[in-house]
Each structure stands twice: as C-alpha cells, then as structure tokens.
C-alpha cells in the first residue's frame, strides 16, 4: 500500500517513535536513579553504586531492545496474517468484499448509492489497500524494522540511564543524594517538556506528570533501601 500524501504534518504521525523514545529515556532515567537511590538509602559504598549503575544501564538497554524487537515483530506478523487473509477473501469472493466495503462507508454516513460508488472506485484503485485501511484499520504498509526499533529503544534507555550513572561518578559522597534527586527530576522535567513540544500538548501537564511519578519512585526506593539495611 502507498502512503497517503498530505500537505499538513499532524502530531499523531509522531506517536509511535515519540512513545518509544520518551518511554525508553524515562524508563532508563527513573529505573536507574531509583535503584541507585535504594542503594544510597542502604548506605552502600561508592564502588557498589558504580557497578550497580552500569549493570542497570546495560541490562535495561538490552531488555528494552529485546522487548521492542519482539513486540514489533509480533505486531508485523499479525498484520501480515490479516493482509494475507484479506487478499485470499478478495480473490475468492470479490463481490461480497465489495458489498462489505460499501456497508462500512454507509455506516459512516454515506447514502447506499454513494457508498457503493466510493467502494467501487477505491476497489478499482487498490482493493487490498481499501480493505486494509477501512476494514482492518491498517493505514499504511507494514514497514517497521524490528532491529531498528530495538536499537532505537536501547539507545533511548541509555540516554536516560547515563544521567544518574554520571552523577555517581562525578559527585562527592556527601552530595550524592541531593545530586541524584536533582538531576533525575531535572531530566524528567526535560523529557516532559520535549514530549509535549513534539506532540503538541500542554507542557505543564506533561512535566508535572513525570515529576510526580519521579518523586514517588525515588522516595519509595530510598525508603526501601533504608528499610532493607535496617533489617541486616
């Protein structure tokens, strides 16, 4: 199927990569910072913090890559199966499929005669594309590359996780806790602003959302580490 040509660029066209990028960076930043906060609460030494931070960065990036690869591959397989099934139905009973397409347009408000006319015109143009878009809900060709999605997700995670790791490397022990909190919340605020800017949404709401969840994650992780240390 060919991509639709439209002079306007809509924010929704960015949804897939925006979601993956923000989710990856957000996950990397919060999960790694929360882990380090928990270890700080347990009064773990600097060496253990460095090892934990680097391990979390590598393991998290690989996990994100594997998850995105499997997710994209599974979605593509399902969509291809739907297209193959629709292609067979069009070969076996084109008239019934034409009637099905016309009924879809009729349900959207067209008169029966006009719905039939539109269905016939789109069928002549590209019958599989018309059914894929209006019956199955696929708006464009399946062209997502699972490997590309995997490394993009891993890179996004690393971009988030590297912040608390660098803080651990560069900050003196006495300032580590406030530095972790400040850098994490600043990073989350930046992610919220960026996602809102790219998605055309209000920035304040996006920033507040991420900051609230960041405070909760960091606070609970610190208390969990402190509590675990008290049990030993």
Domain contains 10: no
Give the pLDDT confidence score for residue 1 in this predicted structure. 43
Number of domains present in the structure of the chain: 1
Residue 66 pLDDT greater than 70, yes or no = yes
Residue 45, helix vs strand vs coil: coil
3 belongs to a structural domain: no
Taking only the tens place, the pLDDT of each residue in 170-228 is: 999 889 999 999 999 999 999 888 888 877 778 888 899 899 999 999 999 999 998 88
Q: Is residue 5 part of a domain?
A: no
Judged against a pLDDT cut of 60, whether residue 140 lies above it is answered with no
In a domain, 183, yes or no: yes
* Residue-number span of the structural domain to which 65 is assigned: 15-231
List the structure tokens of 111.
């008169």
- Of 7-21, 34-48, 210-224, the range with the highest mean pLDDT is 210-224
Query: Looking at the domain assignment, is residue 137 inside a domain?
Result: yes
Please determine, for residue 167, whether its predicted confidence score (pLDDT) is greater than 90: yes
Give the DSSP letter of residue 42.
Answer: T
- DSSP labels for 175-192? GHHHHHHHHHHHHHHHHH
For residue 63, what pLDDT is reported? 93
- The answer to whether position 44 is within a domain reads yes
Position 87 scores a pLDDT of 85
Confidence of residue 17 (pLDDT cuts 50, 70, 90): low
């Amino acid at each position: 199927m060919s991509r639709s040509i439209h002079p306007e660029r809509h924010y929704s066209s960015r949804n897939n990569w925006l979601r993956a990028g923000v989710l990856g960076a957000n996950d990397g930043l919060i999960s790694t910072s929360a882990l380090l906060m928990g270890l700080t609460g347990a009064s773990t030494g600097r060496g253990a913090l460095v090892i934990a931070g680097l391990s979390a960065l590598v393991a998290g990036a690989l996990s994100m890559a594997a998850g995105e690869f499997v997710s994209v591959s599974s979605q593509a397989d399902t969509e291809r199966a739907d297209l193959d099934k629709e292609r067979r139905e069009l070969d076996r009973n084109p008239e019934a499929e034409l009637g099905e397409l016309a009924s879809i347009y009729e349900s959207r408000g067209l008169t029966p005669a006009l719905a039939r006319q539109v269905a016939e015109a789109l069928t002549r143009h590209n019958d599989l594309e018309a059914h894929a878009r209006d019956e199955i809900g696929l708006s464009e060709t399946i062209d997502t590359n699972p490997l590309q999605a995997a490394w993009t997700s891993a890179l996004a995670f690393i971009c988030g996780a590297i912040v608390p790791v660098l803080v651990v490397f560069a900050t003196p022990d006495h300032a580590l806790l406030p530095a972790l909190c400040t850098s994490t919340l600043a990073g989350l605020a930046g992610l919220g602003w960026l996602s809102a800017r790219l998605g055309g949404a209000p920035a304040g709401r996006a920033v507040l959302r991420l900051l609230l969840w960041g405070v909760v994650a960091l606070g609970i992780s610190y208390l969990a580490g402190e509590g675990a240390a008290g049990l030993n």
